[in-house]
Amino acid sequence: MEKRRIAVVGFGHVGCGAVEALEVAPDLELAGVVLQDEGEIRRACCSLGSVPVVRHLAELEKVDAALLAVPSRCVPKLAPPILETGVATVDCYDIHGDPLMTLRATLDPIAREHGTAAVISAGWDPGTDSVVRTLLEALVPRGITYTNFGPGMSMGHTVVIKGFEGVEDALSLTIPKGCGLHKRYVYLKTRPGTDFDALVARISQDPYFAHDEVHFFPCEDVQALVDTGHAVHLERRGSAGKTHNQKVDFLMSVTNPAATGQVLVSAARAVLRQRPGAYTLPEIPPVDFLPGDRESLLHRLI
């Protein structure tokens, strides 16, 4: 069986996780890593040995799909030109609601026009948790689903904070309060001369934080606090048919970058099995995420 060739764009926590998942995938292979920053290029070259590390996707030989392991706010600009070359894209865009649906609506006609496909928000939330929420609602059609994150490090929120002027290092932790409510603990190491209170005010207005209860703490050694573990507890309570008091739970505890990287790689397999267009994870048959032929997989899983 010829392995499909997958490029990884970005080599942060999630990019590293995706590379590791590709290294053990039986049907996929790493075509190379795409980076712009010179320091990141040197670090990747040291880590990856003979794996090509390039500045542009076009420098790699035959790429079937590109995994966009980049900050979410970079995806809307980065994905379209890749799709226009006929290469499929998979991203881990993590902004829920209207921005996610706008991205899907933007990429769908581009992918269709160029005969390829895109999978968006292929992380674990949004992503695999979205699939679980769909199944929970199928089991319990009337009711409420509570999504409880953490406690753990939010990579997306941490990346956003690090982009603020005056921040030298940062960590954002998600703390569950129960019934879908959360608070965030943000640890900040600021650059000399930075007004801490003014910085906090700016961060608090960012859409990533504006709707949450957030507590900020000055910190001289953020790295001493970093643990990339995370968790989620999904609860669905309601009725099935005319029967009330139905309750279904899903609990997951993971190393965040490894989980996200693995979902990206599984979605890379799935995107190559879809018709042209843009998809979220709940729209894709679950069997398409797994290696092997469909009949054998169904025989084993059913």
| pLDDT class of 222 with cuts at 50, 70, 90 | very high
The Cα angle at residue 252 between residues 207 and 93, in degrees rounded to 5: 35
In this structure, is the dihedral angle defined by the CA atoms of residues 283, 268, 40 and 46, taken in order, positive or negative? positive
Per the CB < 8 A criterion, the answer to whether 190 and 167 are in contact is yes
Q: For the chain, which domains are there?
A: 4-123+256-301 (3.40.50.720), 142-240 (3.30.360.10)
Give residue-wise pLDDT tens across range 171-211: 999 999 999 999 999 999 999 999 999 999 999 999 999 99
* pLDDT at position 2: 87
Q: Where are the alpha helices (H) located in 94-230, listed in sequence order?
A: 98-113, 128-139, 155-162, 196-205
Distance between CA atoms of 20 and 158, rounded to whole angstroms? 22
The residue-averaged pLDDT of 32-56 equals: 93
Binding annotation for substrate: 174, 184, 230, 256
Give residue-wise pLDDT tens across range 239-294: 999 999 999 999 999 999 999 999 999 999 999 999 999 999 999 999 999 999 99
Binding annotation: 42-44, 122-126, 174, 184, 230, 256
pTM assigned to the model = 0.94
Binding annotation for NADP(+): 42-44, 122-126
Question: What percent of the chain shows pLDDT beyond 90?
Answer: 97
Q: 10 Å Cβ neighbour count for 61?
A: 8
